[in-house]
Structure 1
Amino acid sequence: MCNATRDIMFEAVLDAAHDPDDIPQTTEPLWILGKRYTPINETNSIRQDIVSKLWFTYRKDFVAIGGSDGKTTDKGWGCMLRCGQMVLAQALINLHLGRDWLWSPMTKEMTYLNIVKKFEDNRKAPFAIHQIANMGVSEGKQIGQWFGPNTVAQVLKKLVKHDDDVNIAIHVAMDNVVVISEIRHLCISPSAIDYSKTDWKPLLLIIPLRLGLSEINPIYINGLKKCFHFKQSLGVIGGRPNSALYFIGYIGNEVIYFDPHTTQKAGSVGYKDTLEEREVDYSYHCKHALRMNMTSMDPSVAVCFFCKTEADFNDLCEKIKEQLIKPEKQPLFEISFEKPQEWQPNKEDLSALDLSDHSDQDEFEIL
């Protein structure tokens, strides 16, 4: 598709979304999930990239979660659950359609529509708010109770194991350490056809971090910025105090983010054959960028990466070592081939730990 045709397809959405301040007109680089832009020359391309990402928000009037007396909206409590959905959805987009795939109001591609349907607000969708909230009970969170980054990561890790159609493995790196051997054990299995080769299961890597006490420590800002440079970047789950947000990039000292705190009516994209189905699809796309200073971020975050291939993972490990660990006095996290010896719990102990400790407490309360 030529650029002129593509621009026409996006015109209705991008013009309606136009805000003179949504993209600063500067030569300073702007990064979105591993892609670098020059805003003054690439404003429209930036808007196309942003609007193509799936944006999940509060919904209302869906089938009750937890029975007839359950919740029919997640307004006020589901913001972190929605951020988790956005990260997983972007991983699926990258896996099946590619990082450079672009959405338009005319999109009816079945691969795309099938991904969206996995997150619709009904009991059958594998990654619906219903499934996430119910699975949260196993992490000590009652339906309607807020999640932190740690909890939503652990819930997603469990949910992907129950959907045979999703060829993704999720690893949650504990104690600020990425253990390479654990990830290889999770993602690599000998080929049933040729035992000299291995099969790599695409990896969604989530690293929960605490980057300060009541506010983010400025010493970590540079490391956070570098994470958005990596081609494997899937952004950062986090927020500001009492409000979960999904950070997808940055410019200068400002992060670019999606805000789930908009309540929309639940519905289905179907095959986008009706006006109602098309409107539901439009509602999954944020029309303009939001920005905030990095120092305003809540210190509880989860940094996310997607490695489609083993080569992607090896490349990410090298980038982490060379750009995040060696140059920084205080790295965001460490990387180790084996589990550090000082770790006492075994794998079973780790899976049973209460993961709603320091990183989840008092961070994302009901608004």
Structure 2
Amino acid sequence: MKQIHRMIDEIRKWMPFTPSSKVVCLGVTYDCNEEAAREEFLEDFRSRVLLTYRSGLEPPLQLAAGGTTASDSGWGCMLRVTQMMLAQCFVSLTLGRDWRFREEDLKEGSTYLRVASCFLDTPEASFSLHRLVEMGQRILGKEPSSWFGPTSAAQAVGHLFEASKVAGPDFLKTVGCAVFVDGPIYKASVMEHFDNGCTSVILFVCRRLGLESCNLDEYQQGLDSCFRLPEFQGLASGNSSSSAHFFVATHGEESLLFLDPHVTHPALQKPADVIASGGLRAERPLRLPWTSLNPSICVAFLVRSKSEFSSLCDRLCEGPREQVFEVLERQPTYNGSFDDLLEADDLVVVN
């Protein structure tokens, strides 16, 4: 059955698709029945940062069994999706939600290139594949070429954040990152970042919304409504059989629209490579029915003050969203190990 689902998902990627219904993209609504609104949405979508598999990684990654690999093709899709979600947060922070890609964004020293440089394929880049893999190995025991789920990828980012604030670009120095791996959002964990001088905090909220498939009867309406929130920065998940995707929009009541990392391009080792590529941009949105959404998810939010965070918590706890999210004042003490929490992460979506 998984083979059939995988075949259907791959065929759907190549089928012509024109948005023709209401589209909600990262807090902005477009009526794509109208041509002008459809073009506005497509310009918005094409301005999102697309990060894909890469070949020619230098230095190559050392494998635990010996040897090396110079590509993440076939196993790095969730790491690329998490990079895209983090890049979206950085774009919102530095360029704003109304920003749209222009040719001048490829000029040397531009804010766009500063954001893109965080994800270059070198060990020096703040959130490169090299650094994410290294952190995954250190804190989670995941060897290079191991598949990451949305929770483990989010954890790797969270652990990299403090070091990146010291050595990374200036805009990171007052940004915090709170990763919630077991479902609830703990207010104290976010407020602590603001108390320590952060002016913005990124939230990665990881959930499992079903066993072998997403429980849409219980969770679809609440998850769908997140796309309307101005703090929402995207959804890291995948399809029902194999692949990780970065979801940024909904199309009517039937589908989600995503960026796909499953194309291999040469490694980006310097900003000039981004310039030569013409920008990290997707040509067109791809569509996935809600019925094919994987139950393992990570939702990203960006808040810029204590009051904005408190307001977000209130909205996550009302209406259908309260089926998806739980907000507690602080994290309770667990008897189980952290490793037990991660077992729910890496099971349904596999490359």
Give the TM interval when normalised to the shorter protein: 0.7 to 0.9
Map Cα deviations across residues 197-231 of structure 1 (whole Å, 9 max, x no partner): xx443111111111111111112110110111100
| Residue number in structure 2 paired with 1:203 | 201
For residue 264 of structure 2, what is the amino acid of its counterpart? T
| Residue number in structure 1 paired with 2:327 | 335
Q: Equivalents in 2 of 1:265, 1:286: separation in Å? A: 16
Map Cα deviations across residues 134-167 of structure 1 (whole Å, 9 max, x no partner): 1110212110000011100100001111112323
Asked if the contact 2:181/2:341 (under 8 Å) is kept, the reply is no
Q: 1:52 aligns with which of 32, 47, 52?
A: 47
| Residue number in structure 1 paired with 2:313 | 317
Asked if the contact 2:113/2:274 (under 8 Å) is kept, the reply is no
For residue 334 of structure 1, what is the amino acid of its counterpart? E
Asked if the contact 2:176/2:198 (under 8 Å) is kept, the reply is no
Q: Equivalents in 2 of 1:162, 1:34: separation in Å? A: 31
Bigger CA radius of gyration: 1
- Name the SS for the 2:221 alignment partner: helix
Map Cα deviations across residues 71-128 of structure 1 (whole Å, 9 max, x no partner): 2110000000001100111111111111111112442351111111110111211111
Q: Equivalents in 2 of 1:286, 1:90: separation in Å? A: 14
Q: Equivalents in 1 of 2:83, 2:261: separation in Å? A: 11
Do residues 363 (structure 1) and 348 (structure 2) align? yes
Asked if the contact 2:212/2:348 (under 8 Å) is kept, the reply is no
| Residue number in structure 2 paired with 1:278 | 275
For residue 345 of structure 2, what is the amino acid of its counterpart? S
Q: CA deviation at 1:23?
A: 3.4
| Residue number in structure 2 paired with 1:112 | 112
Q: Equivalents in 1 of 2:127, 2:113: separation in Å? A: 14
| Residue number in structure 2 paired with 1:179 | 186
- Name the SS for the 1:107 alignment partner: helix
TM-score scaled by structure 1?
0.81
| Residue number in structure 1 paired with 2:211 | 213
Asked if the contact 2:122/2:269 (under 8 Å) is kept, the reply is no
TM-score scaled by structure 2?
0.85
- Name the SS for the 1:304 alignment partner: strand
- Return closer, same or farther for 1:187/1:249 CA change in 2, 3 Å cut-off: same
| Residue number in structure 1 paired with 2:28 | 35
Q: Equivalents in 1 of 2:190, 2:296: separation in Å? A: 23
| Residue number in structure 2 paired with 1:265 | 266
For residue 348 of structure 2, what is the amino acid of its counterpart? E
Q: How many residues align?
A: 321
For residue 117 of structure 1, what is the amino acid of its counterpart? S
Q: 1:303 aligns with which of 299, 303, 307?
A: 299
In the alignment, structure 1 segments of 5+ residues that lack a partner are: 1-18, 190-198
Alignment identity in percent? 28
